[in-house]
Amino acid sequence: MMAGKTLYDKIYDAHIVADRGGADALLYIDRQLVHEVTSPQAFEGLRLAGRRMRRTDATLAMLDHNVPTTPRTEPITDPMSKQQVEALMANAEEFGVQLYDMLDVRQGIVHVVGPEQGFTQPGLTMVCGDSHTSTHGAFGTLAFGIGTSEVEHVMATQTLVVKRAKNMRVTVEGELPPGITAKDMALAIIGRVGTAGGTGCVIEYAGEAVRSLSMEGRMTLCNMAIESGARAGLVAPDETTFEYIKGRPFAPKGGQWDVAVDHWKTLYTDEDAEFDIDITLQAAEIEPQVTWGTSPEDVLPISAVVPDPATISDKAKQAAAEKSLDYMGLRPGMKIADVSVDHVFIGSCTNARIEDLRAAADVLRGRTIAPNIKLAMVVPGSGLVRDQAEAEGLDEIFINAGFEWREPGCSMCLGMNPDKVPAQGRCASTSNRNFVGRQGPGARTHLVSPAMAAAAAIAGRFTDVRELMAKEPA
């Protein structure tokens, strides 16, 4: 008897247009998201070849990386940002692509807006010229980042040659302890498998702790699949997924809804399917996580101390750790809880959804940020997240605590706009990459959950949010 199929193989196989007989196949691509950084050359390519876009209805464009987070009525001052923003607006107009411009309430980070609009749906293939497209896998969507020439290919043909990935499963068993979030789970997984652990694979996240996550939490988890080296992340769709999608602008309507849900219910890994790599973690063992180095795998629980490179036997890894510590300005053996911060960033496609803002606001309610914090900012993932947060009064909690409340976009996640951490500045950030210079030249980034970022803002250093919350606000 033939072994069953994984969720990944089911979606891949259902999209084969032409089997090339080898390691790859030509797949049909159901949806494409477009942003201003990786699309200009693709549009230019179409223009030069005299081609139109194959399916404008399956394409959604967004301005996110370069937009300022200050009031939108003011002009963009950075010439490069201005050029990219204007190019996408002109291209969208010329090719008839739907675009949410800077004044549109639906504007935001592509990976927040796609799901929010119901554009992201189970069982579809979805691409974007952006590595964190893996986020959409939270819906059981086969979603992955592609290069600019591939963006052009999808625009022209709605197909793409895709190599079949290996199947990897990460199971998180048991219940997540109180105060532990999807971000801690994501970081703990990367700490365990490493940034190359998922190379050549698509990771399916499974187990009770994953099933219990909200869609926001599943998106955080899949968002960081790429930081484990994987091509994409997946969570099999279930009632939580259907409930989230129902009624959103692009969601199937009327009788089509039931047909869609019937299909979505077939999207799971068969019991007897086999995985190339199968890893299990215990939820009960996950503590709040903080990164100490310049790779997301350089991560430890808040109770730990900064590692000593001398204890690492692999010479290349030892040298890398020394370099990281030097860049980060940390000494081996220091308690992570003794590391002070001067910047706090709550935002990005990892953690700028309503649930993330609620989690941070819960910590900040009735408290104020420490005097050594030079800048603390909240950048909602979209205009709709911003409006929802304002309707709940979260903006006031942030502002009263000493945070700046900004307009949506990628912002300080990578500093393509004016939001940067200065050289030697140290930032508790809810984003997904702590690379050298990621938040600005010489900037030091520590990746944490929204609750841990808020706790760091209050304490002026990293601290276990569970201990902070056990005390009354001063």
Ligand X SMILES: CC(C)[C@H](C(=O)O)[C@@H](O)C(=O)O
The partner residues of 403 in beta bridges, in order of sequence, read none
Residue of 108, 99, 43, 40 whose CA lies nearest to 411: 108
- What residues contact 130, with CB distance under 8 A and at least 6 apart? 33, 35, 37, 38, 110, 111, 145
Taking residues 363 to 402 in sequence order and writing x for each that binds ligand X by CB under 6 A, - otherwise, the string is ----------------------------------------
Kindly state whether residue 378 participates in binding ligand SF4, applying the rule CB under 6 A. no
Dist CA 440 CA 438 (whole Å): 6
**Which of ligand X, ligand SF4, none has residue 37 at its interface (CB below 5 to 8 Å by kind)?**
ligand X
CA distance 429 to 470: 23
User: What is the distance, to the nearest Å, from the Cα of residue 48 to the centroid of all Cα atoms in its chain?
Assistant: 34
Angle at 272 between CA 267 and CA 275, to 5 degrees: 80
Q: Does 65 participate in binding ligand X (rule CB under 6 A)? A: yes
Contact of residue 160 among ligand X, ligand SF4, none (CB under 5-8 Å per partner type)? none
Distance, CA of 427 to chain centre: 18
The C-alpha atoms of residue 388 and residue 16 are separated, in whole angstroms, by 40
Nearest to ligand SF4 of 189, 273 (CB atom): 189
Among the listed ranges 129-137, 242-250, 321-329, 358-366, the one in contact with ligand X (CB under 6 A) is 129-137
**Among ligand X, ligand SF4, none, partner that 195 touches (CB below 5 to 8 angstroms by kind):** none
- CA angle 182/185/189 to nearest 5° reads 140
Binding mask 206-235 for ligand SF4 (x = CB under 6 A): ------------------------------
Q: Using CB distances below 5 to 8 A depending on partner kind, what does residue 444 bind out of ligand X, ligand SF4, none?
A: none
Nearer to ligand X, 359 or 416 (CB): 416
Contact status: 148 vs ligand X (CB under 6 A): no
How far is the C-alpha of 130 from the C-alpha of 254, rounded, in Å?
A: 33
Single out the residue of 378, 442, 374, 459 nearest to residue 412, CA to CA.
Answer: 378
The answer on whether 410 is annotated among ligand-binding residues is yes
Nearest approach in angstroms of CB 135 to ligand X is: 11
Q: Could you tell me the two tokens for 82? A: 């201005």
The span of 138-146, 280-288, 410-418, 421-429 binding ligand SF4 (CB under 6 A) equals 410-418
Q: Is 413 annotated as a binding residue?
A: yes
Under a CB-based contact definition with an 8 Å cutoff, are residues 226 and 219 in contact?
A: no
**Which residue(s) pair with 171 in the sheet?**
206, 280
343's contact among ligand X, ligand SF4, none, with CB below 5 to 8 A by partner kind, is none
Instruction: Supply the minimum distance, in Å, between the C-beta of residue 320 and ligand SF4.
Output: 22
Work out which of 53, 286, 410, 447 binds ligand SF4, going by CB under 6 A. 410
**Residue nearest ligand X, Cβ-based:** 131
Per CB under 6 A, which region of 125-133, 186-194, 251-259, 290-298 contacts ligand X?
125-133
At residue 230, the 3 state secondary structure works out as coil
Among 364, 414, 454, 457, binds ligand SF4 (CB under 6 A): 414
**130 touches ligand SF4 by CB under 6 A:** yes
Among 33, 414, 454, 468, indicate the residue that binds ligand X (CB under 6 A).
Answer: 414
357 near ligand SF4, rule: CB under 6 A: no
Give the rounded distance of the alpha carbon of 238 from its chain centre: 21
Q: Is residue 339 a contact point for ligand SF4 (CB under 6 A)?
A: no
Tokens 């030079």 locate to 374
The answer to whether the CB of 185 falls within 8 A of the CB of 209 is yes
Q: Is 131 near ligand X (CB under 6 A)?
A: yes
| 432 sits near ligand SF4 (criterion: CB under 6 A) | yes
Residue 145 binds which one of ligand X, ligand SF4, none, with CB within 5 to 8 A depending on kind?
Answer: ligand X
Tell me how many degrees the CA angle 73-75-77 measures, rounded to the nearest 5.
145
Q: 243 with 206: CB under 8 angstroms?
A: no
